[in-house]
Structure 1
Amino acid sequence: MLLHSSLSALGHVEGGAGTVVSALRDLLGADGTLVVPTGTSANSDTSPIYRRAVAGMSSDEIARYRSRMPAYDPASTPSDLMGQIAERVRTLPGSLRSAHPQTSFAAIGAHSAKIIDEHARDCLLGERSPLARLYDAGAHVLLLGVGYDKCTAFHLAEYRYCQDPPRRSYRAVVDDGEGRAWCEFVDVKVNDSDFMLLGADFERTGAVRLGRVGEAEARLFSLVDAVDFAVAWFAAHRLPQKG
């Protein structure tokens, strides 16, 4: 199961994020796997987080800031803006994390290695990422206290909705065994600006199970259904219409 969550949206939870993660793992059972996004866009100079951080700095200040940006380390680099529950999963003993320096995922459970391994650097959220492996496994998505704008699964559809989706350059700080260095790669230009509209249309199909957990809204649905719907939706809404 792919989880996107907000601990604060749940209201008071005795034991905090640890309680939530334990409950979800119990529900998934011994053969289940819990997966969370653990992105680290702060170590990239092509991300909104970086642009906000250096806004107003002089060129010298920016150079010093860039020189202090640490390389991504799957074992220790905290995620950015992913929430306390995702961080709890990332730091659990036995949790595995993918190698991508910007869009990593962490997983714990029976199929963690199969989902996490070989996350290609030039594939943020596409066919060589954990999202494609979750699709192949028939995983479910749980939005727990967050909206469709956080639904990472929709990004996989951005790689599939046309033969040549828009692309752009990305840069990040990495360490491939020879010390800290910048890497640059070209990949699909991911864009979540219309995910709320997409999600609302998807929900109207009846494919989403709605409920409440504590004070939060919860949405559970098939990742395959969501991605397949999004492929058709993007083709209709992001490409020029014929005729």
Structure 2
Amino acid sequence: MTISGTAWPRTRSSLAADLRRLGVRPGSTLLVHSALRPLGWVCGGPHAVVLALRDALGPDGTLVVPTHTPENTDPATWRNPPVPREWWPVIRDEMPGFDAAATPSRWMGVIAEAVRAWPGARRSDHPQVSFAAVGPRAEQVVGGHARADMLGERSPLARLYELDADVLLLGVGHDSNTSLHLAEYRRPDPPRERVGAAVRTADDGREWVWWEDVALDESDFDLLGEDLDTAGLVRAGEVGSAQCRLMRQRDAVDFAVRWLAANR
């Protein structure tokens, strides 16, 4: 949003106050899905937003963000845009191997990328759906992220569930709520698919690897989210100019397990 579209500057202190008003718990673990533009004009940009989030969480809180790399996937599945079939072998042979320390996140927004690069941040070692975290529980959240259980019981999402974390949708909708994918893994016999990505090797080279994983589908997450809102499990409010939602992750995942059983 431009300056002309913002009634008053959004600042570190004003955003922190909005976050506290919404219900961000000091000392909690908070998974944030975000977009900067809906907040309005922010003095200090994404850096100020991260500072505000950390202020609201306090020194005992842990901030977690998705730092996914969706371009590091099998090109045969690309749809937006698709690539010619003759390109597929080239992409599989030449895509740089995922490096948790250096590979930037893509399509997760500038706030998530700021957290990824934050001093002391820890990042999980998954070539497609990594998460980054800052705070005392960062390693507990991101450590041991299994390649073949990418958003399941051996992923940061399950660690967040164990920690009774909160989820903040900061200017984005339920279609960005990655925690709902954990519910897909908790369905009986979920559909599975072959997945591929480029990874680093022990000798600092790279290779393309394949594995089998749950076939993820967020196409109905907006509908799921509407029912989650209606069930009274979500706190809604404004942070800056953005419409935001805050929820306990356990409540959202448990609701989604029941919802998927009834609606898929």
Shorter-chain TM range is: over 0.9
| Contact kept in structure 1, 2:93 and 2:207, CA below 8 Å | no
Indicate the residue corresponding to 1:241 in structure 2: none
Q: Equivalent of 1:3, from 28, 32, 49?
A: 32
Query: Counterpart in 1 of 2:122?
Result: 96
TM-aligned CA deviation for residue 30 of structure 1: 1.1
Instruction: Choose the corresponding residue for 1:169, options 176, 191, 194.
Output: 194
Tell me the amino acid that sits aligned with residue 139 of structure 1. A
Deviations 1:184-212 (A, max 9, x none): 11011111000000000010011111100
When residues 112 and 8 of structure 1 are mapped into structure 2, their CA distance, relative to the original with a 3 A threshold, is: same
Is the Cα–Cα contact under 8 Å of residues 76 and 88 in structure 2 kept in the other structure?
no
CA 1:53–1:20 in structure 2 vs 1: closer, same or farther (change >3 Å)?
Answer: same
Query: Residues 52 and 197 of structure 1: is their aligned pair in 2 closer, same or farther, counting only changes over 3 Å?
Result: closer
Distance 1:186 1:34, change over 3 A: same
- Call closer, same or farther: CA 1:157–1:83 in 2, change over 3 Å: same
Aligned counterpart, 1:159: 185
The one-letter amino acid of 2:49's match is V
Aligned to 2:108, the other structure's residue is in SS state coil
Mapped contact 2:46–2:114 kept (Cα < 8 A)? yes
- Mapped to 2, the partners of 1:109 and 1:88 lie a distance apart of 14
What is the CA-CA distance between 1:51 and the residue it aligns to?
4.6
Q: Quick one: which of 170, 176, 191 aligns to 1:144?
A: 170
1:76 to 99, 102, 107: 102
1:234 lines up with 2:260 in the alignment:
yes
Residues of 1 paired with 2:152 and 2:91: CA distance? Answer: 31
The 3 A distance-change label for structure 1 pair 128 and 157 is: same
Measured in 2, the distance between the counterparts of 1:192 and 1:137 equals: 24
Q: CA deviation at 1:62?
A: 4.2
CA distance in 2, matches of 1:156, 1:96: 21
- Contact map agreement 1:116 1:130 (CA 8 A) in 2: yes
For the structure 1 residues 175 and 26, does the alpha-carbon distance in structure 2 shift closer, same or farther, using more than 3 Å as the test? same
SS in 2 for 1:41: coil
Shift of 1:214: 1.5
Q: Is residue 12 from structure 1 mapped to residue 41 from structure 2 by the alignment? A: yes
Cα offset, 1:66, TM superposition: 3.7
Maintained 8 Å contact 1:103/1:124: yes
Displacement of 1:13 in angstroms is 0.3
Q: Which residue of 1 aligns with 2:149?
A: 123
Alpha-carbon distance change, 6 to 116 in structure 1, aligned in 2, over 3 angstroms: same
CA distance in 1, matches of 2:89, 2:212: 23
- TM-score with structure 2 length normalisation? 0.85
How many pairs are equivalent?
A: 234
3-state SS in 1 of match to 2:120: coil
* 1:23 to partner: Cα distance: 0.5
* Stretches of structure 1 lacking an aligned partner (at least 5 in a row): 239-243
Structure 1 residues 58 and 207 mapped into 2: Cα distance closer, same or farther (>3 Å)? closer
Gap change, CA 1:46 and 1:222, over 3 Å in 2: farther
Q: Is the 8 A contact 2:92 2:208 kept in 1?
A: no
Q: Aligned partners of 2:231 and 2:244: how far apart in 1?
A: 17
Distance, in Å, in 1 between the alignment partners of 2:179 and 2:63 is: 15
Deviations 1:105-124 (A, max 9, x none): 00000100000000001011
Which of 210, 222, 227 is the equivalent residue of 2:248? Answer: 222
2:136 aligned with 1:107: no
